[in-house]
Chain A
Amino acid sequence: MRIGGTIAIYTLSVAIFLVAWWGFTFVFPPIFLPSPLATTLKAVEITRTGELPWNIVMSLFRVLSGWALGAVVGSFLGVVMGRLPWVRALALPVLEYFRFVPPVTLVTLFIIWFGFGEESKIVLIFYTAVFIVVVNTMAGAASVREGAIRAARSLGATGTQVLFRVVVPETVPYMVTGLQLALSNAFMTIVAAEMLAAKSGVGFMIWDAQVYTKTERMFVAFVTLSLMGFCLDRSVHALSRRMFVHYRVV
């Protein structure tokens, strides 16, 4: 009933949007605003040629590899920082400063450091993800219930056992939140990076289309982006809820 309702609302919302889009195509010429139908036909065409799937795969590859690296390193650093107040005290000010440097601005620097290949893009996504995961995991690790730690210690657990059997499980919900936020941020960053410095990916498609005023392709890219982001976000959400049923993941 509730799921059915949700699907109905989503469908209705998209339908209204499509109708509005279609309506505006009578006002503006196709070079400004291609119709939903023209966009769909273009999508089918460049799917057949393999161009669209290839760009999707490239963007996904960059996002997921950088994000996964950021997740592993970020969770580890976050737990360490959350449990060791002096490490946290030393690291927090630096985190606070770097927060205001948007990852996209580092594209050029990373190209100088890591070259024009995939490394620079993956490092950029890693950088984007690691911050968010660290901040969230740290908050979680710092707020682990002292009573749970005491209970484990008085049951005979050593320091390492307390870390892996109590602190990490108690931190899981915060990690998951961090991972989800990091994913959506990684997505925004990769598109911008691909527009600036890549020869493939959905972001590149948009840039390429703009240079040659191929508006239909641009619209295909927009729709693709929204669908990719939506699907990724929902999958991570569903997956984490399934994997951590009893960890009180929100």
Chain B
Amino acid sequence: MTEKVRLERVTKIFEDPRQGRETVALKDVSFGIEDRETVALLGPSGCGKTTILNIIAGFILPTEGKALIEGRPITKPGPERGVVFQEHFLFHWLTVEDNIAFALKVRGVSRKEFLPRAHEFVKRVGLTGFERHYPDELSGGMRQRVSIARVLINNPEILLMDEPFAALDAQTRLLMQEWLLKLWEEHQMSMLFITHDVDEAILMADRIFLMGVQPGRIIHELKVPLPRPRARTMLTSQAFMETKAGCLDLIAKESAKIFEHRG
């Protein structure tokens, strides 16, 4: 199996020059993401999970260690790494089709050529009829589907999802999870999925990295024993429950440590 992404002993230190303080956001993080594999980073806020995503996306550079995409060092953002944010960050002055076609437009593809492709992706994310709508006219779930289509059109090596469904209500979130699983079956891309929702991590991922705080680091790796294709019905299966129990156990132990530590 080939690895899409590799982090090698990555440490990230943020400096606050005004207060002269340093924060160790990540300490010594190493892992790889295989081709077609979904890895979930699960942890509380402040554990550095978004920092990991930002490093792989190329938005920030590690202080120490290496970050590689298909063996090449990551130095800047690139269309082969599609990023989906919790806040969709769509371009609100562009229609759905123009948002989705953004990557083609900046590559100089003509409108005549990119429109059919954009419409194909509008269809794939189930938004037919909304091509000419503006993001402000869509529901939260629809916006997130547009921002996923916007990166899928690049045919990325890996999808980097930063709590993409955290801002949605519970029903919509469940529908979106199911929808994303179906989409995954069609595209079978690698994925890094950040979440603080245990159920979501288990449902989406092949492997889960539990993260701890102060400093942000990976404390446990869990393999999810659920088969593909995944479905919502697995949420109540025996294997799911066992995985969840183990997961919650580890989280509880870690939390207790922090609790004692802080007194």
Set B78, B87, B102, B107: member contacting A152, Cβ < 8 A: B102
Set A147, A156, A248: member contacting B79, Cβ < 8 A: A156
Give the interface SS of chain B, mostly helix, strand, loop or mixed: loop
C-alpha spacing A246/B58, complex, angstroms: 30
A161 within 8 A of B: yes
Establish whether residues A154 and B83, one from each chain, have CB atoms under 8 Å apart when the complex forms: yes
A residues 145-163 touching B (CB-CB < 8 Å): 145, 147-148, 150-158, 161
Closest Cβ–Cβ distance, residue A102 to chain B (whole Å) = 36
Establish whether residues A155 and B89, one from each chain, have CB atoms under 8 Å apart when the complex forms: no
A155-B103, A156-B78, A157-B106 as given contacts; A246 in contact with B93, CB under 8 Å: yes
A165 within 8 A of B: yes
C-alpha spacing A244/B92, complex, angstroms: 11
Establish whether residues B57 and A150, one from each chain, have CB atoms under 8 Å apart when the complex forms: yes
Establish whether residues A150 and B59, one from each chain, have CB atoms under 8 Å apart when the complex forms: yes
B residues 65-118 touching A (CB-CB < 8 Å): 76-79, 81-83, 85, 87, 89-94, 102-103, 105-107
Closest Cβ–Cβ distance, residue A135 to chain B (whole Å) = 23
Establish whether residues A145 and B89, one from each chain, have CB atoms under 8 Å apart when the complex forms: yes
Chain B residue with minimal CB distance to A169? B93
Query: Contacts of A145 on B, CB cut-off 8 Å?
Result: 89
C-alpha spacing A155/B149, complex, angstroms: 12
B154 within 8 A of A: yes
Establish whether residues A155 and B59, one from each chain, have CB atoms under 8 Å apart when the complex forms: no
A residues 8-60 touching B (CB-CB < 8 Å): none
A residues 115-173 touching B (CB-CB < 8 Å): 145, 147-148, 150-158, 161, 165-166, 169, 172
A247 within 8 A of B: yes
The chain B residues found within 8 Å of chain A, CB to CB, are 57-59, 76-79, 81-83, 85, 87, 89-94, 102-103, 105-107, 134, 136, 147, 150-151, 154
Q: 8 smallest A-B Cβ distances: which pairs?
A: A154-B77, A156-B79, A147-B89, A155-B103, A153-B77, A151-B89, A157-B106, A154-B83
